Amino acid sequence: MNKAPILSRCFGFFLLAVLISGCHTVPETGRRAFTILSVQEEITLGSEAFAEIKKAENISSDQEKNAMLQRVGERIARVAEVDMPQAEWEFVLFENDAVNAFALPGGRIGFYTGMWKVAENEEDIAVIMGHEIAHVTARHGAERLSQSLAIMAVGIGVQQAVRDRSKETQMAVMLAYGAGTTLGLQLPHSRRNESEADEIGLYYMARAGYDPRVAPTFWEKMEAHAGGGSPPEFLSTHPSHGRRVQDLERAMPRALDYYRAAGGAVD
Ligand SMILES: [Zn+2]
């Protein structure tokens, strides 16, 4: 028996194992998502990556922004805790002009000081914080990583299948496969994850007592700041602005119920 069939069979088993073992339910939306990492593995990966980022970037000493970041982070993490009790929350402010924030698997969250060029108050920061914390509890990082691993495994399988063809055919198939997976699978999933983080984030901020109605206005300010320079939705990892506001409006009644229950004044 030659080696290739054994190798293909191994990948077959690997894929099967992955598909059977790996699924979790996203909190709030109830979507079933594919994962091969445990929460503990996510926390380990996230904390290692965050340690590297903290070494490489400038940590800000701006007291006012730092205090706001910790306050909003703790308030929202407290309501999100039920969805991921093991999470290790950490909120760090980096001195950087970019209007950006990011979340790592397991609970590490970074904000750039540039975010305050658009965010005018604590509610605006809560919109972003809700969105980033939602990426963590929905386990989007683990989902993306699991997808990439599965795509890689299938890619090796495809390569095996065309290994007797000419080099040109092999190249063409792999290129088509690469483009197909990026546009057909990876980006739509990522856009879906962004919309999902918007929705869950809206519920979180409302439960933490921040008025969710500021969210559509905040994203409008973000859009205005980008100066209409965002790429068309098809190639972008973020939902188009109109779509984003529409989705938020759809989630708003439920968010307002949470806000009311948290003691917020709606009428
Ligand atoms: Zn996001």
Ligand 1 centroid to residue 257 C-alpha, Å: 24
CA 224 to chain centre: 23
Ligand 1 centroid to residue 250 C-alpha, Å: 19
Q: Residue 109 belongs to what H/E stretch?
A: strand 108-112
Ligand 1 centroid to residue 178 C-alpha, Å: 24
Q: What is the pTM of this model?
A: 0.82
What average pLDDT does range 244-262 have in this prediction? 95
Answer yes or no: is pLDDT of 225 > 90. no
Residue 17 neighbours by CB under 8 Å, 6+ apart: none
What is the band of 1 on the pLDDT scale with cuts at 50, 70, 90?
very low
> What is d(CA 179, CA 134) in angstroms, rounded to the nearest whole number?
29
pLDDT of residue 189: 65
The residue extents of the domains of the chain are 3-261
Ligand 1 centroid to residue 73 C-alpha, Å: 16
Ligand 1 centroid to residue 10 C-alpha, Å: 35
pLDDT digits (tens, 9 = 90+) for 179-191: 666 656 565 667 8
pLDDT of residue 253: 97
Average pLDDT, the chain: 85
Q: Greater confidence, 152 or 265?
A: 265
HEC sequence for 144-213: HHHHHHHHHHHHHHHHHHCCCCCHHHHHHHHHHHHHHHHHHHHHHHHHHHHHHHHHHHHHHHHHCCCCCC
Answer yes or no: is pLDDT of 55 > 80. yes
> What is d(CA 235, CA 228) in angstroms, rounded to the nearest whole number?
15
Q: Which amino acid belongs to residue 121? A: N
Candidate from 42-46, 52-56, 146-150, 211-215 with smallest mean pLDDT = 146-150
Ligand 1 centroid to residue 176 C-alpha, Å: 28
Partners of 90 in the β-ladder: 108
Answer yes or no: is pLDDT of 61 > 90. yes
What average pLDDT does range 141-155 have in this prediction? 78
Ligand 1 centroid to residue 190 C-alpha, Å: 9
> Mind giving me the DSSP string for 221-264?
HHHHHHTT-PPPGGG-SS--HHHHHHHHHHHHHHHHHHHHHTT-
Ligand 1 centroid to residue 7 C-alpha, Å: 37
pLDDT of residue 244: 85
pLDDT of residue 14: 61
Ligand 1 centroid to residue 84 C-alpha, Å: 18
Query: Which residue carries 């683990």 as its tokens?
Result: 142
What average pLDDT does range 94-104 have in this prediction? 92
What average pLDDT does range 196-209 have in this prediction? 97
What is the band of 245 on the pLDDT scale with cuts at 50, 70, 90?
confident
Ligand 1 centroid to residue 196 C-alpha, Å: 9
What average pLDDT does range 240-265 have in this prediction? 92
CA 141 to chain centre: 6
Token pair, residue 118, equals 């658009």
pLDDT of residue 191: 81
Token pair, residue 146, equals 């699991």
Of residues 134, 141, 119, the one with CA closest to residue 36: 141
> What is d(CA 134, CA 125) in angstroms, rounded to the nearest whole number?
14
Q: Residue 137 belongs to what H/E stretch?
A: helix 122-137
What is the band of 255 on the pLDDT scale with cuts at 50, 70, 90?
very high
